[in-house]
Every structure is written in C-alpha cells, then in structure tokens.
Amino acid sequence: MKLQAPKGTRDFYPREMAWQNFLFDAWRKVSVRNGFEQVDGPVFESLDLYKVKSGDGIVSELFHFEDRGGRGMAIRPEFTPTLARMVADRAASLPRPIKWFCMPNFCRAERPQRGRLREFWQWNIDMLGLDSPIADAEVIYTAVDFLREVGLTSSHVRIKLSHRQTVQSILGKLGVPLDRMTEAFALLDRRDKIEEDQFAQQAAVLGLDADSAKRFDEVCRMKYRAGGLDKLRESLAIHDTLDDLRQLDEQLHAFGIADWCEYDLGIVRGLAYYTGTVFEIHETTGAMRAIAGGGRYDRLIELFGGPPTPAVGFGMGDVVISLVLFDKGLIPETIMPRPDVFALALTDAAAKQLAALCIDLRRQGLHTRFSYRSTRSLGKLLKEATACNARYAVILDDKIMERQVEVKDLESGEQWAVGIDQLPQAFSGRARDED
Amino acid sequence: MKLQAPKGTRDFYPREMAWQNFLFDAWRKVSVRNGFEQVDGPVFESLDLYKVKSGDGIVSELFHFEDRGGRGMAIRPEFTPTLARMVADRAASLPRPIKWFCMPNFCRAERPQRGRLREFWQWNIDMLGLDSPIADAEVIYTAVDFLREVGLTSSHVRIKLSHRQTVQSILGKLGVPLDRMTEAFALLDRRDKIEEDQFAQQAAVLGLDADSAKRFDEVCRMKYRAGGLDKLRESLAIHDTLDDLRQLDEQLHAFGIADWCEYDLGIVRGLAYYTGTVFEIHETTGAMRAIAGGGRYDRLIELFGGPPTPAVGFGMGDVVISLVLFDKGLIPETIMPRPDVFALALTDAAAKQLAALCIDLRRQGLHTRFSYRSTRSLGKLLKEATACNARYAVILDDKIMERQVEVKDLESGEQWAVGIDQLPQAFSGRARDED
C-alpha cells in the first residue's frame, strides 16, 4: 500500500512548514503594521455564493459536494465572495474604512503545474469604504512593504498598473461602443496569446477599423514608469486627461513607491468585476506568472446585498512568491525554531533529574530539549545537541545532587559550572532575547 | 438575498480572529518550547486514507467529493491518518523520536451543537518512535503546560487517565475472554449512557456472571489521584501488578504533573486503535465535553504501510477550550493588535505629509495608522486615535514644514514637540518593546 498526498497538494514536513511559517509571519507582520486587521471565514461555502460573483461557469473549477441537507457546497477557491458576504452582513456596524487581511488556504480543481497547485495559501489585503486613490496607493504600498521585508527590490519586481476607466476612455475614443467594452477588455487581456491576424479580425468585430486596431494594439504595449504620465499622454496621440491615473500617480509618490510602479495598459486582470485601478506584480525578467494581482471593485458589495461600498484589494499566493524567493536565493538558512537549551545526563542518577530540570526551563519560556537515549557518552550526546542546532547544552552528572550543572555555549565552546537556581540567568538573557 | 456562513461554520471578524490567533499563538509557543516541530498536510485527502483507519462507516461523517479524475476525496476530519501517511512515507529518514505538532482546521458532517461544529481547529501533539512512558508523560506535560499558559489550574481541569493493558488484564481476570475485549471496552465506554439492567444484560453476553458484572461496573467508577496506585490496587480486590500504570505514574511525578492527573478506569476513548495509555482532559465540574483526548497508538503506522512505530499523542479542539476559558473569565481583554502610533493632521498642508511620515514609521517596524477623514478637528481626530487603542498620537500641523511634530502619550496625556528624525526614539523604545 502506498498512500500519497492528493495530486496538486503538499505535505509540510518540519522544514517546509518552517518556510510557510516564515512567509505567514511576514504577511501578518506587514499587514498589522499597515493597520490591517485579520479575518477569516469557513473553508467551504455554499456553491451559490461563488455563482453570484462568477456565474455558473465557476462550478467546474471548484471541489464541490452536498452537505447532509443536500445543499451544494464548495471548498473556497478565493476569499472575495466570503469577504463580500461578511461586509454586506454587517455593513451598518463596521467602522470605516474597513482594512482587512487574511491568509487562508484555497482549493481549485486545476491541472497542477509550476506555480499553480490545487491547494494553496493566499494573502489577501482589502480596504473598503474609502473612495479615494489613497486607498489604492496604501494597498499597493502594503504589497511593496512585504516585498521589501523579504528582501526583494524594485530591480527584482515591478508593480504593473492600469486603470479600467482610463483604458475605457481611450478605447471609446478609438471607436469601441460602450456595450462592447467588456469584450474589448477580454481581447486586451489575451493580446499576447493570439496571432496578429486573429487580433485584427476580433478587433474588427468590436467596430475598430484597421487604423484604430493598430492604435488599440499599441495601447496594449504601452509601458511607462510612474511619474511619466505626460509621456504616456503624448504617445497615446489621443486627447485624454488621464485624470484617474493622475490622482493615483500623486498618491504613489506620496507613499514613496513610484519607483516600484509602471503603467502597463495591457494589464486587464481578466475579471469582470474590477472597476478602476488594476495591477499585477511581476518579476522584471518577465519570467513567471504574476506574484500578486488586484484592483478596485466598487460594485461587488452591492452584488452581495450590501450598500454601495468602494473597495480595493489584492491577493498574493504562496506558491509563486516562494519560487521567486528560492530562485533569487532569498530563503533564509535558519528558519527552523532554534532550541535555547539541550539537556543531557552523564550518569543514571542524573538522568532521573533530566525531566524536572527541563520542565523548569520550559516554564520559564525556554525552548528546551533533552536526550531520550540511554547512552551516557558526552561526545554522542553533544553531537545530538549540535544536530538540533541548540544554543546551549546543559550537562548533568552526579553533581546535580548538589544542585550543580555545567553549561556549554555550543557556539563558542566555552563551558562553566552553574547552580541550577541560577540557570536561566546563566544564559545572560541571550537565549531568551533570540526567542 | 441573504447569504450566510454554512451551518456549523464560523465567520471570524477581527475580534473573533484575534481570539483565534491568541489561542493559536499559545498552542504554537507551548509546542515549540517543548521541542515539537510543526507540520501540516492537505486540507483534503483520498477517501481511502480515512477508510484505512476507520472503516467504511466513516464516510457518512465526511464531506466527500470526487476530483477531476473521479477519485474519492474528503475534507480532513482529523489529522492522524495524514500523520501516519507522512511518517510511513519517510520512516527511514526521519530522526527519532519524531515530535510533531499541528493546528489545522477539520470538517465533520455532524449535527452542530454546543461545543461541536462542522468546521473546527484542533491542536495535535504526537510523539513517535520512543517506546517509553517518558513519551506518554511528556505529551501529557505539554497539554498541562498549555493549560497553565492560558490561566487554568488543577482545580479547574483534570487529566483523566487509564491504560488499555491494565483494564484488559482486569477484565480478563473478571472472565472476559480475549476475543470479546473490544466489545467490553465499548460497553465500558457507554456505561454512563445506558440503564443498569441493560448494562447487566450486555455484560452477561460478554461472559460476566452477576458478581463479575458488579465488579466490572465498579471498575468503571474507580477514580484515584496519581500516586494512589496502592489504593487502586487494593480496591480492585484483584491481584494485579498494575505495572503499566506504575511506570506511567513514576513519569507523571518526574514531569511534576501528578497533581493534575487522576486514574479513571472508565475512560476508554471509543477508538479501537489505542493500545496503551488513554486520557481525556475534563473540567473538574464535569460540565462539558472533553477539552482534549489522546493516548498511545503503537500499531497505527504499520496499518499505513510503515514499520512498527510506538506512538502517543492527543488532540485539543478550539471550540470547547474557548468555551471553558470564556466561562471562567480567562479571555484577556486586550487581544487585538494595538497600534503604536496614530498620526493625524490639523492643516491641509500637513495632511499632504501624512502618508510619508506613516510609511517611515512603518518601515521602522511600528504599527502605524492615520486618519483618512477630512476633518481638521483635534478633538475628533484624537477620539479616532483612542477608539483604535493607539499608544501614541503624532500630531502634524504647519510646523511639519520645519520637520517638527507633536507627540501625545495617549495613556498619560503628556504631550511634547519632536523633530521627525527623532520620532521612533521619541517613544522611548516603549512602543516597540510592547510589539
């Protein structure tokens, strides 16, 4: 019998788990210092909840089942519908702006591939109830704050930004009628995946003549660093105030992250529900899937029965960011929790006192391990202490009857005698500071 | 349209989430200082995995579905099968003893009731590869270490212990044949749920005459504090060495937790896979469902294709322990992350500098919030700072042009002028220490 983790899922042994914890701790730390409050919801929701947002087509992408009452349920594939439901349900009582984060696991019935699994974790940052580009900028700032926290710089990654209203205004001037705008966005989104003649053909269907289609194609390719809006406006050769982008641009400067950002009018984020700013975080090499993606979704809370509520947010999965950090050598070497103390006994009488000594240290907050082996060899036992990367060894022999032990600093090799009542202080507070 | 969390599941708004985090942090801290390493597995597993451990009967208790290839899958109802699979898969390479903990969410298709939900979290502590009562005692010690950590004492809760071998030996001497032992355990387990005559009738089926049935019934009721094995032996009025319990008893004393423990031969833990020590943690009032339960399961890893591996562990759900702590007034008042700084602007010019100042403080690790409102009223803005429980207010007016701000200690009311370059130090390191 060979039982394995289901396809597209992962087992987290201590080393893999230590990495997940490192990532989760960084997500949480950055979220909290930027004023976001953590929330979570059920791991499964009613199937209807997902249909409200994404239509019936979503069902084939979900792991779904019936509960005991025959109601359709699905393991959550994303957090936004849960968030929208939770906000709509308490819209009257939640203080504004609502600044929430979460980092749950999600499941999608996808074909597993590099950077895409059936179960993954995702950091979600959402800010609701503030109708201002300050919210867009602060949400993007929070992403940048995390990227910096894990050692990435603006030379590694870039925030690619667009704005639905700006692009819509440009497309309108090129001749796309308002009722075909969604199709135009979809075409923009798949521009790089289709051939030139296919593109021209599909553009024609949207009412774009050859010239306009060429301009449309150029719009897809336009990329300008934040602060370069004048150049963008010129090169568009279409009179447009770019008001929405201008206001966002100001805030990106106010939050000091303009050098991480570039406008890329080809960024659409496939999802129909975005209403303003949209953005993706990509490696500057362009090598990978997006590290994160998000935008403004001002009409979603209404769709879930709540009042009109401006909203902006993003999601960042654990899989792609982990691959990026691994590729760039940014996974720290020592992510496993490090024991403060490893206790060992050199005589049978001393061994009887091991447990009592260890629990005393643990009660004082020290991460304390001891040897379960029957060997009394100092060399073998110290090897065990070193193998688990303990900071100090506490060595017990028959002097334990006089309440005396030896402490060995496993980094410097220094060793000295200590009365067991002085033990925690004997580590000069170092062990605990590192905790 | 009214969309709600599915029956038996919970939404975690910031306050509820802060409690979950408090609980998870305590679980994690206690696990780590006792030398356990965190692991995790997939949120769904193949249905077969659960059938291996629990038989086909388990299926109706699971939320199960088919993946894209038509394979039966189920959301995990517990961790043990995943753990057994993971240990069996790497049995040759994992260093012994294996000391693992996890705290995942689980789902069971149960009828929701007080203390029992369809989705819950559970702390699991497991120690494998050490065939010694030291392992049993250390696992139980780790539970006690947590109970103490959250403010419970041995007057609130008790570890009720039994031992399968001891009880089996007693039942054998009473006349239960070896091949009816499992039935006898089952009868022991439901003793308090059935009438006396039913009990006598079912005992007779197991080969117990009236006298023996009476003794059997007494065995169910026997409770002795740890250390009281002699009394237990006497009152059994059956010659039995109680060897297994005696060794465990020694270790409970060595780990200093004898006063938390009592022997209760009526504790069976329904599950067929336990092989030695079994225990449950109960309130001393007897009011509630078990807070935790566990025991030794020396044959499970083999069942999952691994080598013979001694193993002992327990699980503690989040629901019952939270109810207990709430009932006893042990939920701390301030569990929400507390902002170090709340920044506010008294002039429009100052408001333009708010973001830059805040991101500077955030980059230095301070949890910093600011007001998004257009009001310039000091009173209203300070009210907002107090509402989110910030430690300090940083007040910006036109003196920001000279790089000067006011800092207000929101606890003492003290206020003083600071140059913005001295800002983090101005909090005298207090804000960061409390982080």
Q: Can you spell out the DSSP letters for B52-74?
A: HHH-GGGGGGS-EEE-TT--EEE
A359 in contact with B at a CB cutoff of 8 Å? yes
Q: What is the mean pLDDT of residues A301-315?
A: 96
Single-letter amino acid code for the residue at B154:
S
pLDDT tier, A307 (very low <50, low <70, confident <90, very high otherwise): very high
- pLDDT in the model for residue A33: 98
Query: Tens digit of pLDDT for each residue in A366-396?
Result: 999 999 999 999 999 999 999 999 999 999 9
Query: In this complex, is the C-beta atom of A433 within 8 Å of any C-beta atom belonging to chain B?
Result: no
- Distant-in-sequence, close-in-space partners of A213: CB < 8 Å, separation ≥ 6: A199, A200, A203, A204
pLDDT above 80 for A253: yes
pLDDT of the residue at B249: 93
Paired tokens of B48: 């077969």
Query: Could you give the angle at which helices A196-205 and A210-221 cross, rounded to 10 degrees?
Result: 120
Q: Output DSSP code: residue B229.
A: H
Nearest to A53 by CA among B17, B10, B1, B11: B1
pLDDT for the residue numbered B207: 85
Query: A355 vs B14: CB contact, 8 Å cut-off?
Result: no
Return the C-alpha torsion angle A106, A110, A112, A116, nearest 10.
-50
CA distance B337 to B322: 19
For the stretch A210-250, pLDDT in tens is: 888 888 888 878 888 888 888 888 877 666 668 888 899 99
Q: What is the pLDDT of residue A432?
A: 43
- Return the structure tokens found at B233: 């032996």
Per-residue CA distances from B335 to A399, B22, B219, B389 (Å): 45, 7, 45, 11
Q: Tell me if chain A has a CB within 8 Å of the CB of B153.
A: no
Phi, psi of A230 (to 5 degrees): -60, -45
Q: Distance (Å) from the C-alpha of residue A182 to the closest C-alpha of chain B?
A: 26
Quick one: what percent of chain A has pLDDT higher than 90? 68
For residues B34 and B141, the answer to whether their CB atoms sit within 8 Å is yes
Residue A434 pLDDT exceeds 50: no
CB-CB contact of B393 with B399 (8 Å): no
Cβ atoms within 10 Å of A135's Cβ, excluding its own = 24
When pLDDT is cut at 50, 70 and 90, the band that residue A256 belongs to is very high
* Residue B226 or A257, more confident: A257
3-state secondary structure of A24: helix
CB contact residues (below 8 A), chain A span 44-63, against chain B? 44-46, 48-49, 52, 63
Asked if A273 is an interface residue toward chain B (Cβ–Cβ < 8 A), one would say no
Chains A, B: CB contacts under 8 A, how many? 228
Q: Mark yes or no for CB contact A12/B387 under 8 Å.
A: no
Put simply, the answer to whether A42 touches B367 (Cβ < 8 Å) is no
pLDDT at A428: 66
Token digits of residue B239: 């010659």
**Residue B133 contacts A, CB cutoff 8 Å:** no
- Mean pLDDT for all residues in chain A: 91
Q: Which residues, other chains included, contact A344 with Cβ-Cβ below 8 Å and sequence gap of 6+? A: A354, A370, A371, A378, A381, A382, A384, A385, A393, A394, A395, A396
Q: Looking at chain B from residue 308 to 337, which residues have their Cβ under 8 Å from any Cβ of chain A?
A: 336-337
ipTM for the predicted complex comes to 0.94
CA dist., res. A9 & res. A31, Å (int): 26
Taking the CA of residue B371 and the nearest CA in chain A, the distance in Å comes to 10
B33 touching chain A per CB within 8 A: yes
Supply the pLDDT for residue B271. Answer: 66
List chain A domain ranges: 14-327, 341-433
Phi, psi of B148 (to 5 degrees): -65, -40
Helices (H) and strands (E) in chain B, counts: 17, 18
Q: Cβ separation of A372 and B6 shorter than 8 Å?
A: no
- The per-residue pLDDT for B215 is 84
Residues of chain B with pLDDT under 50: 430-435
Rg (CA), chain A: 28
Asked whether the beta carbons of residue A67 and residue B255 sit closer than 8 angstroms, the reply is no
**Cβ neighbour number for residue B379 with a 10 Å cutoff:** 7
CATH 3.40.50.800 correct for A341-433:
yes
Shortest distance between the Cα of B238 and any Cα of chain A, in A, equals 32
The type of residue at A279 is F
**Beta carbons of A163 and A277 less than 8 angstroms apart:** yes
Hey, is the C-beta of B271 within 8 angstroms of any chain A C-beta? no
Q: What is the pLDDT of residue B431?
A: 44
- For chain B, the first-to-last Cα distance in angstroms comes to 42
What pLDDT does A431 receive? 44
Residues of chain A contacting residue B40, judged by C-beta atoms under 8 Å apart: 11-12, 17, 20
Give me A247's structure tokens.
């206001």
Burial of B125 (0-12, 13-18, 19+ CB in 10 A): buried
| Cβ contact, residue pair B130, A67, below 8 Å | no
User: Tell me, what's the pLDDT at A433?
Assistant: 42
Please list, in sequence order, all residues whose beta carbon lies within 8 angstroms of the beta carbon of residue B218, skipping any fewer than 6 positions away.
none
**Test the A interface: residue of B40, B90, B111 with most A CBs within 10 Å:** B40
Could you give the dihedral angle defined by the CA atoms of residues B159, B163, B167 and B170, in that order, rounded to the nearest 10 degrees? -110
Determine the Cα–Cα distance for residues A315 and A122; give it in Å rounded to an integer. 6
| B17/A37 touch (CB, cutoff 8 Å), yes or no | yes
Taking the Cβ of residue B231 and every Cβ of chain A, the question of whether any pair is shorter than 8 Å is answered with: no
Rounded-to-integer distance, Cα B351 and Cα B400, Å: 10
Mean pLDDT of A109-113: 88
SS3 A39: coil
pTM for this predicted structure: 0.94
Helix pair angle (B14-33, B318-327), 10° resolution: 100
Q: In sequence order, which residues have a C-beta less than 8 Å from that of residue B224 and are 6 or more positions away?
A: B231, B232, B262, B263
Count how many residues are written for chain B. Answer: 435
Q: Which of B28, B43, B60, B144 would you mutate first to test chain A, the one with the most A CBs within 10 A?
A: B43
User: How far apart are the C-alpha atoms of A316 and A238, rounded to whole Å?
Assistant: 35
Domain A14-327 maps to which CATH number in 3.30.930.10, 3.20.20.120, 1.10.1200.10, 3.40.1190.20? Answer: 3.30.930.10
Whether A396 and A343 have beta carbons less than 8 Å apart is answered as yes
Contact A85 B368 (CB under 8 A): no
Query: To the nearest whole angstrom, how far is the Cα of B69 from the nearest Cα of chain A?
Result: 10
